[in-house]
Chain A
Amino acid sequence: MQKSLIAVSSITYAMKAKKLLNNMGLYCEIQKTPKNLGSGCGYSIRVRDDLKYIFSILDAENITHKAYQKLP
């Protein structure tokens, strides 16, 4: 399964996303947003599932996702 990193607004939204996705049985871990993905000191979630599916879940809960990148 392709791993991806999604930058979210803040640690609070990262926590909210992790809780939501984990409760649905989906993999989600939190890490600092790397410099190339955000404007400094933000948080991102590491996911394994289809991005379209993940985004639809995040959008339904108003969790803003700013940028993403595929992970090797």
Chain B
Amino acid sequence: MIYFDNSATTFPKPKAVLNSAYYASRYLGGNPGRSGHKMSVRVANEVYKVREKIAYFFNAKPENVVFTLNCTHAVNFAMKGVMQSGGHIIISSLEHNAVARPAFALAHSKQNVSYSVAEVGDCNEKTVSNFKSLIRSNTKCVCMMAASNVTGEILPFNEIAAICKKRGICFILDAAQGAGVLDIKLGDGINFICCAGHKGLYGLPGTGVLISDGKYQLSTIIEGGTGATSLELEQTDFLPEQLESGTINVPGIISLGAGIDFVKNNGLNNIKRKEDRLCSLFASNVGRLSNFKIYRNENKDYAPLVSFSYKNANSFEVTEHLSNRGFALRGGFHCSALAHKTLGTEEDGLTRFSPSVFNSEIEVRKVITELKKVNNIGI
């Protein structure tokens, strides 16, 4: 099988990532931050080293790096933590359900919370202006993606974060598709970064990170044992332990550290350049086929993924056909109700091609050849 579904989770993982997870499972016994014996402290030290790596990567402090299960958990912690006392949220019209559903749930379960959806325009200036026009006196938070998981479009998050900074609004960035390929840092208005550990950062599934600049104290949505302040019934009130109730995923976290090393050693720009080249090759060839449509606009910038539709079958049928011929792509709606509504693809969905640094031009040419056959003779 040739794997082109790296936006869902990267595969294969770098050898160093696999080795680190094995090492952690085999040798890093003990529960970090709990028992206090030498094994436990040794594991805590290894976990802390990963916090430092992530902090350095995103320009944060190690104690403000919270390990979560995935990006969705991180977004929920941040958005619900900030909105506990009510207010208005703005999200974009391309948001993943990881952002859209918590906003919807908050607005429907709390009388004092409301949300607005800012249309992503045909140019960045329009998008920024759409966000700006929705800001109200009670707007407390803007939560948006760095890049769309459906089209790959990179949104003008830095510009919008800068506006939020001026207006005293908390800015939460969903970097699920951006981390590992875009240069994303805390500061200049970005108060929280949420990301998956298992996508562009090449860690194992079951890893995610919430990174805070420390300006906003979050309310908790999960409480429990943190290894600190154990005799108090009130939840620990400082990061990272406040948001890390229960035992953390040590092998996953150690693998994430190795994944970040992999990205740094290969160079974020080099990784993006290679994946962009593969996407351009794919988009330029498939875009020429009369029965296919590519969802890209030449005036915009994209993270390395390409979505397309086929005139004579829906995306589920296209994906199944490709799967039967040895290609793993993702069809359907990509957990993105808003994005497909915005794109007008709610009926048939889209098929998404998302390479990683491990894919080759030869592999891309193979799937192009298959799609040419589909174009000529059908599924």
Contacts and interface: CB of A to CB of B under 8 A. Distances in A.
A62 to B, nearest CB: 8
Given A15-B44, A16-B63, A10 B230 contact: no
A10 B36 contact: no
Interface residues of A, number: 17
Contacts of A40: 229-231
A64 B274 CA distance: 45
B63 A13 contact: yes
Contact of A30 (B41, B51, B63, B241): B41
Q: What DSSP secondary structure best describes chain B's contact surface?
A: loop
Contact of A43 (B36, B51, B231, B240): B36
A42 B45 CA distance: 15
Interface string B195-230: 000000000000000000000000000000011111
Q: What DSSP secondary structure best describes chain A's contact surface?
A: mixed
B36 A31 contact: yes
A36 interface: no
A10 B226 CA distance: 9
B232 interface: yes
Contacts of A12: 33, 48, 51, 62-63, 240-241
B171 to A, nearest CB: 23
Contacts of B41: 11, 30
Contacts of A43: 33, 36, 228
B36 A16 contact: no
A9 B238 contact: yes
A52 B240 CA distance: 27
B209 to A, nearest CB: 14
A30 B45 CA distance: 10
B232 A10 contact: no
A67 interface: no
Given A11-B44, A12-B240, A41 B34 contact: yes
Top 3 closest pairs, chain A to chain B, by CB = A32-B36, A41-B230, A40-B230
Interface of B: 32-34, 36, 41, 44-45, 48, 51, 62-63, 226-232, 236, 238, 240-241
Interface of A: 9-13, 15-16, 19, 30-32, 39-43, 64
